[in-house]
């Protein structure tokens, strides 16, 4: 069974990856697990060795392959993943994670059934606010509309940073969080709040 998670929004693709891992481990108390990055010199070889080697629980495996298209050697990796028995075996799961969509013909099968593919594009501005409010609800807080707008204009679709800030707000000990609460947080030396830090950072790089 093969999953293909791709797109520039690495926060949501990571969430999906964690969800797949959790479901697999909940269903399979015993099983071999491996995670390798093909941007490393021996990443692809480690993937193949792990998947082809008979382990203690050889019938059940979960293999996570990060940056599969970074491997520029032979087509051994695509051949392994595209095998018919691999595509239909629910006890052996491969999760491919990439920022880019497949470009080479040998990988085009990742966008076709039975592969389960999902793309995670960066949020448009109109999508960021609703995501923040939903995430805040999960953390037990409610965001003021002015704060939501300030966070959106400061960090855009950087969900990693937005999630980190929401987690900080959830530790303030109150449910309703406004702009003044966020401005009161002093996390960085020489700046009064996270917004000052972000503004200084962008000015430095401009």
Q: Is the pLDDT of residue 174 over 80?
A: yes
| Single pTM value for the model | 0.86
The rounded distance, in Å, linking the Cα atoms of 197 and 169 is 17
pLDDT band at 199 (very low <50, low <70, confident <90, very high): low
The rounded distance, in Å, linking the Cα atoms of 125 and 172 is 27
Q: Is the dihedral of CA 58, 64, 69, 73 positive or negative?
A: negative
The rounded distance, in Å, linking the Cα atoms of 55 and 69 is 26
Where is pLDDT greater, at 43 or 32? 43
pLDDT band at 18 (very low <50, low <70, confident <90, very high): very high
Predicted local confidence at residue 190, as pLDDT: 46
Asked which of 16-25, 101-110, 169-178, 186-195 is least confident by mean pLDDT, the reply is 186-195
pLDDT in tens, 58-108: 678 999 999 999 998 889 999 999 999 899 998 889 999 999 999 999 999
Distance of CA 19 to the CA centre of its chain: 10
pLDDT band at 186 (very low <50, low <70, confident <90, very high): low
CA neighbor of 82 nearest in space, from 39, 40, 111? 111
The answer to whether the peptide bond before residue 119 is cis (omega within 30 degrees of 0) is no
Predicted local confidence at residue 68, as pLDDT: 96
Predicted local confidence at residue 11, as pLDDT: 98
CA neighbor of 151 nearest in space, from 181, 175, 129, 173? 129
């Amino acid at each position: 069974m093969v999953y293909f998670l791709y797109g520039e929004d690495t926060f949501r693709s990571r969430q999906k990856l964690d969800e797949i891992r959790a479901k697999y481990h909940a269903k399979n108390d015993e099983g071999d697990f491996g995670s390798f990055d093909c941007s490393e010199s021996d990443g692809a070889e480690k993937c193949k060795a792990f998947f082809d080697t008979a382990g203690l629980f050889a019938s059940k495996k979960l293999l996570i392959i990060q940056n599969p298209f970074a491997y520029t050697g032979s087509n051994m990796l695509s051949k392994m993943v595209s095998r018919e028995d691999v595509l239909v075996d629910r006890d052996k799961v491969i999760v491919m994670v990439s920022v880019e969509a497949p470009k080479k013909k040998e990988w085009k099968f990742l966008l076709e059934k039975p592969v389960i593919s999902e793309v995670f594009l960066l949020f448009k501005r109109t999508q960021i606010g609703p995501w923040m409010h939903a995430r805040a609800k999960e953390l037990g807080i409610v965001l003021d509309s002015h704060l939501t707008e300030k966070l959106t204009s400061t960090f855009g679709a950087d969900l990693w940073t937005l999630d980190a800030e929401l987690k900080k707000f959830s530790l303030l000990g109150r449910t309703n969080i406004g702009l003044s609460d966020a401005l009161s947080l002093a996390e960085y030396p020489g700046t009064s709040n996270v917004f000052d830090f972000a503004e200084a950072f962008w000015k430095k790089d401009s």
